[in-house]
Amino acid sequence: MFDLAVIGAGPAGCATAIWAAARGLNVLLVERSEFPRFRPGECLHPGIEVLFRDLGVLNEVLERSSVRPSTRTVVSEGRRSVERFGADANGQWQGLHVSRADLDAILLTRAQQLGVTLHIHRSRVTPLSNNGKIEGVAFDGRMFRCAFVVDASGQCAWLTRALGRKHLPASPRMTVFYGYCHGHLPEGQLFEASAAGWHWMAQISTTVVNWTSLHFGVHQRPLPPETMSSLSSCGRSGGADVTWRMAPSVAGSSFFITGDAAFITDPASGNGVLRAVMSGIKAAHNARAVLTGQATQAEAAQDYRTWMRHWFEADTAQLAHLYETLRKDWHAPSFGDHATLGV
């Protein structure tokens, strides 16, 4: 019997597990892949620093982050500008560029230090439900009862699929492609946008530059950005479906859905890992509020659904604004009403 069973040990799942275990909850963390496993997404939003401090991993992440930009250079329709991330009484905000293998290992180690039970499963994970309430998970011929199940399975969207539901799309189909090159990018972070799409390039270690590209309406691998044509490729390359989409219900009386499993917007939003970590903490916080009698199940679920919905709306409005300035014919389909999303 566990307080929480968390499916997926990426940033969302580990943040849930760490926050809950640090406050005395009994957590089962279930992952399907052996670590280290590859994931793109090395440029972390400056706002993540305070969350890493709260999770007790900031020093380890800073040790592994060799690039810390405080600006992003934007080239749009030939015009070049430098955007600062912001500042406060403590100084300039800085992003963190860190390999995902390093970040995910730091988070998983912290979770295990706090007593989280990790299982790498070999068979499919099935939710155990009783009259619509999820009471645990089953895999590898074993059953684990728990008060809450947290889906942190990323794009796999384990729980939404297991419940026979589908994510609701909120944009035309969009595919991003990414790759890595040996070399140096003077700007640290460079975002080039035009009516055809955008390229995002970032120095992610002292010797490696990452590129991520989105071409509107193109779903087959394009060439890397011209800016990087003189650099030699290294490491992995690939593509991902980043059509904006959200799970029809991101929380119920016995479950929360976090990170990419809850919703996806394209990487131009620049906050995928931040959102994964923050939603993991929020899910753990709301589950604990129920377990300690500070909120009812219905209140905790409703609060989480509203919070996630607002974030999704803010991200998609900001991206839609960017794309409207690039293309006259940009049109994001409307997203359905609150009732459809269970808000």
Ligand X SMILES: Cc1cc2nc3c(=O)[nH]c(=O)nc-3n(C[C@H](O)[C@H](O)[C@H](O)COP(=O)(O)OP(=O)(O)OC[C@H]3O[C@@H](n4cnc5c(N)ncnc54)[C@H](O)[C@@H]3O)c2cc1C
Under rule CB under 6 A, residue 46 binds ligand X:
no
Residues in binding contact with ligand X, number by CB under 6 A: 38
Q: What share of the chain is helix, strand, coil (3-state, %, to 5)?
A: 30, 30, 35
Nearest-approach distance from CB 299 to ligand X, in angstroms? 25
**Which of 21, 22, 40, 185 touches ligand X by CB under 6 A?**
40
**Which of 5, 43, 67, 290 touches ligand X by CB under 6 A?**
43
Under rule CB under 6 A, residue 9 binds ligand X:
yes
Binding part of the chain for ligand X, among 34-42, 83-91, 182-190, 315-323 by CB under 6 A, reads: 34-42
Secondary structure of residue 223 in the 3-state scheme = coil
Instruction: Compute the CA torsion angle 16, 21, 25, 26 (nearest 10 deg).
Output: 100
Under rule CB under 6 A, residue 259 binds ligand X:
yes
Pairwise CA distance, residues 110 & 15, whole Å: 10
Query: Residue 164 burial (CB < 10 Å; 0-12/13-18/19+)?
Result: exposed
Q: How far does CA 36 lie from the centroid of its chain? A: 17
Q: Return the number of other C-beta atoms located less than 10 Å from residue 94's C-beta.
A: 18
Scan residues 273-312 and list those touching ligand X (CB under 6 A): 273-274, 276
Under rule CB under 6 A, residue 31 binds ligand X:
yes
Nearest-approach distance from CB 64 to ligand X, in angstroms? 15
Under rule CB under 6 A, residue 30 binds ligand X:
yes
CA angle 60, 65, 71 (to 5 degrees): 135
C-beta separation of 222 from 215 below 8 A: yes
Quick note: the x/- pattern for ligand X over 71-100, rule CB under 6 A, is ------------------------------
**Which of 18, 27, 42, 65 touches ligand X by CB under 6 A?**
42
Binding part of the chain for ligand X, among 49-57, 106-114, 215-223, 265-273 by CB under 6 A, reads: 265-273
Pairwise CA distance, residues 256 & 38, whole Å: 25
From 227, 211, 188, 234, select the one nearest 65 (Cα to Cα).
188
Binding part of the chain for ligand X, among 127-135, 179-187, 189-197, 258-266 by CB under 6 A, reads: 258-266
Under rule CB under 6 A, residue 17 binds ligand X:
no
Under rule CB under 6 A, residue 6 binds ligand X:
no
Secondary structure of residue 233 in the 3-state scheme = strand
Scan residues 134-153 and list those touching ligand X (CB under 6 A): 152-153
Under rule CB under 6 A, residue 190 binds ligand X:
no
Scan residues 170-189 and list those touching ligand X (CB under 6 A): 176, 178
Nearest-approach distance from CB 298 to ligand X, in angstroms? 25
Pairwise CA distance, residues 260 & 121, whole Å: 21
Scan residues 197-256 and list those touching ligand X (CB under 6 A): 212, 240, 242
**Which of 32, 282, 285, 305 touches ligand X by CB under 6 A?**
32
C-beta separation of 272 from 43 below 8 A: no
Pairwise CA distance, residues 113 & 10, whole Å: 16
C-beta separation of 91 from 98 below 8 A: no
Pairwise CA distance, residues 272 & 176, whole Å: 14
Q: Which residues bind ligand X (CB under 6 A)?
A: 7-13, 30-33, 39-44, 125, 152-156, 158, 176, 178, 212, 240, 242, 259-261, 267, 271-274, 276
